[in-house]
């Protein structure tokens, strides 16, 4: 069977997305980031705030570390990936206690855009 | 409290997205489309095929009707909306029997882009 270039790309993305999702679900987010984030990755939160937008791997890591320091994570579930072209989605369900706050469930979708085997954009939906 | 323009837009989108999701979950997809699709809506499936891309409301309706005629729908569940800026996501779980096929569960995410109160793009992920 001949595979169309469009479908072949989607298969590569799915492999990348599955590996990325597995690392994230195992709580190995920093490793996932080191392996798959592009140097010029951009991230976009859904609400205003200090880290509403980040540009570049250093700032994205700074945001990730700030988040990790301010939340105690009890459980992470990651559903997906769901793929279209060079983008994929993961559905995150995280049980956390924010510093000084109460235990809560966070549900969010993250849309990842991939170029040349690296994640160049993360967009958060909730 | 003053609401930032960014947040105000997101609130409008969330209202629209919730109404749209409710109609879809109730099996009233044609009504949702009539109310919220822009005339020049574009849709993008994740795999090649006759309706891999559609341009304009007429072609999108044609695709929706083709789908409805070729699938018996047993149950629709719609989770969401999940919002960021002028985009929102719905998580669809549909139990169907394709014409001549076997009953199956379909899980897909759809990314909707909104401009001036109308959905201008639907992008399917699975």
The answer to whether A51 faces chain B, any CB pair under 8 Å, is: no
From the list A84, A87, A108, the residue facing B82 with the nearest CB is A108
Per residue in B50-75, pLDDT tens? Answer: 899 999 999 999 999 999 999 999 99
Least confident range from A51-55, B7-11, B31-35, B112-116: namely: B7-11
Query: Domain-by-domain residue ranges, chain B?
Result: 5-125
For the domain bounded by A5-125, which CATH number is listed? 3.10.450.50
The answer to whether A106 faces chain B, any CB pair under 8 Å, is: no
Percent of chain A topping pLDDT 90: 85
Best probe of the A interface among B4, B7, B46, B79, by most A CBs < 10 A, is: B46
The answer to whether A1 faces chain B, any CB pair under 8 Å, is: no
**Residue A23 DSSP SS3:** helix
CA distances from A117 to A20, A88, A90, A120, B46 (A): 12, 13, 17, 9, 19
**Whole-model pTM?**
0.90
Q: What angle do CA A12, A15, A16 make, to 5 degrees?
A: 90
pLDDT of residue A121: 98
pLDDT of residue A13: 93
CA distances from B121 to B21, B76, B124 (A): 15, 21, 10
How far is the C-alpha of B110 from the C-alpha of A23, rounded, in Å? Answer: 24
Q: Summarize the confidence of residues A1-18 as an average pLDDT.
A: 72
User: Among A9, A43, A37, which Cα is nearest to A23's?
Assistant: A37
Give Cβ neighbours of residue A116 (< 8 Å, ≥ 6 apart): A38
The answer to whether A83 faces chain B, any CB pair under 8 Å, is: yes
Could A10 and B47 be called an inter-chain contact, meaning their C-beta atoms sit closer than 8 Å?
yes
What is the ipTM for the molecules in this complex?
A: 0.88
* pLDDT greater than 80 at residue B6: no
């Amino acid at each position: 069977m001949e595979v169309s270039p469009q479908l072949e790309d989607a298969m590569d993305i799915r492999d990348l997305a599955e590996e990325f999702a597995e690392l994230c679900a195992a709580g190995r987010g920093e490793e996932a980031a080191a392996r798959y984030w592009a140097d010029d990755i951009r991230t976009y939160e859904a609400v205003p705030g200090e880290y509403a937008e980040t540009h570049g791997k250093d700032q994205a890591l700074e945001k990730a570390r700030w988040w990790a320091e301010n939340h105690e994570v009890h459980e992470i579930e990651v559903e997906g990936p769901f793929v279209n072209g060079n983008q994929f989605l993961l559905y995150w369900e995280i049980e956390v206690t924010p510093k000084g706050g109460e235990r809560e469930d966070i549900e969010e979708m993250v849309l990842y855009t991939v170029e040349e085997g690296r994640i160049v954009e993360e967009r958060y939906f909730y």
